[in-house]
Amino acid sequence: MYVPMGTLLEKANKENYAVMAINCFNLESAFATIKAAEELDSPIIIDLLMEHLEKHLGMETVLPAVIELAKKSSVQVAINLDHGKSKEYVKKAIEFGFSSVMMDASEKKFDENVEETKEIVKIAKNKNISVEAEVGGMGAVAGDNFTNAGMYTDPKEAISFINQTNVTALAISFGSSHGLMPKGYVPKFDFNIVKAVKNATGTPLVLHGGSGCGADNIKKAVEFGINKVNVGSDVMKAQSSAIYQQITQNPNEDFVEMVDKTIKPAKEMVKYYINIVGSKGKN
């Protein structure tokens, strides 16, 4: 069933759990993600990253196929444009059929972020499309550029932003980083940021960069008000590891078979996170 993201997050907010949002790079990862959700009777969000869509197959090609998977699913599926950096691209995504879009102007000045997001919210809500935004910034693992104190979201800014824009959900930075974490590294979360924003607004909040954050961190974040958890790198790593193992064991493996064998490890990783955030059986 293809639904707006707000439908999923409203229920998660009321019942104090989170919905997984999986960054999907191709149809196989989207298929695996939806199948994992079906096996656990969980709602799910497919995140399609603007950068991926621009560099590889465009939304005109990818989105209709993923929508078809969503419509045929036995669970509720939202498809979200992830990190839409361009206002024009986000508007295009709304017209092309995303059930949710992220207007990410977090790298701009606060007032610019507010104004661009307000404009997108006005357009999207007339079409029953959810809008996510972001205040603060997360570090990237590349070059050991982890989230530092200067990147953490200011709760007062986040509260003001929500009140001014009326976004469906807000991504906040409180310790996570995009990409894969080095082995053995577990980030330190500042849960007071989550508590402050949630208590003041009651709005669904989003954790980006969930890969490698640790089950305890994620569970506690959900407890304090996170309703959407983004994970991409861990699922993609599970798929790439499956390919590497096959090539190592049999360099002449048929490519179709090789890709097919990435479905199960991807599913298992998605199911692992669904169990952490508490959305099993919540469809």
Backbone angle region of 192, left / alpha / beta, with phi > 0 → left and psi within -120 to 50 → alpha:
alpha
Coil, strand or helix: which one is 175? coil
Q: Rounded CA gap, 226 and 94, in Å? A: 25
Closest CA to 224 of 210, 252, 205, 240: 205
Q: Rounded CA gap, 267 and 29, in Å? A: 8
In this structure, what are the phi and psi dihedrals at residue 112, rounded to the nearest 5 degrees? Answer: -65, -40
Catalytic residue, candidates 82, 104, 144, 254: 82
Q: Give me Rg for the CA atoms of the chain.
A: 18
- 254 catalytic, yes or no? no
Encoded tokens for 157:
């800014």
Q: Mind telling me the catalytic residues?
A: 82
